[in-house]
Amino acid sequence: MHTLHTTPAFIVSSTPHGESNRVYRLLTETHGMLYAHAQSVRELRNRNRYALSTGCFVSVTLVRGREMWRLASARTVPDITLPPRASYQKILGLIGQLTPVEDPFAQSFQLFLAHIRALAAATPEDAHAVELIGVIRLLVERGYFATPGDMALRTERICADHTEYSKDLCREVLGDRTLLTASVNTALRMTRT
C-alpha cells in the first residue's frame, strides 16, 4: 500500500503527456520542486482539471510511485488571496528554473508564499519593489547573487527576514532600484551559463 502525501503546492508548469494525461511541475511545501503525473486530467469528466492550471495555489494529494509521483487529487486553497497572475508569473518561472527537483532544503516555497502575500497587499507603487525584493531573495537563497562591498549591507537588509515586505524596506529598495536591478540582471545572466 502506498502512502498518501497531502501538501500545499504552486503549479509551476504543465506538459501534455499522451492523449489525456499531463505532467505537472509543482513547488510543494514538504518536498520542494517535483514532477507529478496526472492521469486523464485533460478529459472533461475529470474533477481535478479545474484546479490544475499554471500559477494556481492548490492542496494536492500525491502518491510516490516506482518511477515518479502521481497526482491523486487537487483542490484550490480558498484561504489565500492571490494577486493577478501576471504579477507573479515571472518569479514563479524563475523559481522553476533555479530550484532543483526534490531538494528538501530549498526555502523556495516559503519565499514564494511570502512574496504572493506581499504582492496581494502591495499598493501599485510598491509592486515593483516587492517584485525586486522577491527576486533578490530567491537569487541569494540559490547562491547566484554576489554581494560585493556596499551591496552586501543592502542585500543583508533585504534578506534578513524573508517574510518582511515593509513600507520602509520597499522605499529603501525603490531608492536603490537602478543599482539593485543591475545586480539582479548580472545574477540572472550567471544563471543562464
Residues 108, 72: one domain? no
Parts of the chain with a pLDDT under 70: 1, 41-51, 104-106, 146-151, 193
Instruction: Check if the beta carbon of residue 7 is closer than 8 Å to that of residue 29.
Output: yes
CATH, residue 43: 2.40.50.140
In a shared domain, residues 33 and 107: no
Question: Do 68 and 93 fall within a single domain?
Answer: no
Residue 47's φ and ψ, nearest 5 degrees, are -80, -15
Looking at the fold, whether 72 and 92 belong to one and the same domain comes out as no
Same domain, residue pair 71 and 90: no
Q: pLDDT digit string (tens) for 66-102?
A: 888 988 888 888 777 778 877 888 888 888 888 888 8
Amino acid at 190: M
Q: Which domain holds residue 66?
A: 4-76
Kindly state whether residues 139 and 48 are assigned to the same domain: no
How many distinct structural domains can be found in the chain?
2
Same domain, yes or no: 108 and 35: no
Which of 22, 42, 76 terminates a domain? The answer is 76
186 neighbors 139 (Cβ within 8 angstroms) = no
